[in-house]
Amino acid sequence: MTDARFALVVGTTETATIDGISAAGAAPEVMRYTPVADAELLYYGRPTRSPAVPVSPTGCPTPALVTRAVRELVGFDPLVVEAGLAESTGAPTLSVGPTPGRDVRDPEAVPDAPAIVERAREVGRSLHDAELVVGESVPGGTTTALGVFEALGVADSVSSSLPENPLSLKRRVVEESLAASGAEAGSLAGRPVEAVRATGDPVLAAVFGLAEGALATDTAVTLAGGTQMLAVAALLRHGGYGGDLTVATTPFVAADDSAATRETAAALDVDLVVTDPGFESSDHVAAERFLHGEAKEGAGMGGALALADREGVPMAAVRDRLFERYDALLGG
Phi first, then psi: give them for residue 248, nearest 5 degrees. Answer: -110, 120
Cβ contacts of residue 266 below 8 Å, gap of 6+?
Answer: none
Report the alpha-carbon distance of residue 121 to residue 171 in Å, rounded. Answer: 30
CB of 285 to ligand AAM, least distance (A): 14
CB of 139 to ligand AAM, least distance (A): 4
CB closer to ligand AAM, 126 vs 292? 292
CB of 159 to ligand AAM, least distance (A): 8
Report the alpha-carbon distance of residue 300 to residue 10 in Å, rounded. Answer: 11
CB closer to ligand AAM, 82 vs 136? 136
3-state secondary structure of 87: coil
Cβ proximity of 254 and 272 under 8 Å: yes
| Burial class of residue 249, CB neighbours in 10 A (0-12, 13-18, 19+) | buried
CB of 290 to ligand AAM, least distance (A): 10
Residue showing the smallest CB distance to ligand AAM in the complex? 298
CB of 218 to ligand AAM, least distance (A): 28
CB of 50 to ligand AAM, least distance (A): 12
CB closer to ligand AAM, 201 vs 309? 201
CB of 174 to ligand AAM, least distance (A): 12
- The candidate with the shortest Cα–Cα distance to 196, out of 71, 13, 6, is 13
CB closer to ligand AAM, 13 vs 219? 13
CB closer to ligand AAM, 62 vs 157? 62
Helix, strand, coil abundance in the chain, percent, nearest 5? 45, 10, 40
| Burial class of residue 299, CB neighbours in 10 A (0-12, 13-18, 19+) | buried
CB closer to ligand AAM, 273 vs 295? 295
CB closer to ligand AAM, 14 vs 38? 38
- The candidate with the shortest Cα–Cα distance to 227, out of 189, 263, 175, 190, is 263
Handedness of CA 183, 184, 186, 187 (dihedral sign): negative
CB closer to ligand AAM, 165 vs 219? 165
Residue 7 is given by DSSP the state E
CB closer to ligand AAM, 231 vs 236? 231
CB of 201 to ligand AAM, least distance (A): 10
| Sequential DSSP letters for 125-183 | HH---SEEEEEEE-TTHHHHHHHHHHHHTS-S----SSSS--HHHHHHHHHHHHHHTT-
Q: Which residue type sits at 154?
A: V
Residues that bind ligand AAM (CB under 6 A): 22-24, 34, 38, 54, 62-64, 136-143, 160-161, 295, 298-299
Report the alpha-carbon distance of residue 222 to residue 307 in Å, rounded. Answer: 10
CB of 172 to ligand AAM, least distance (A): 15
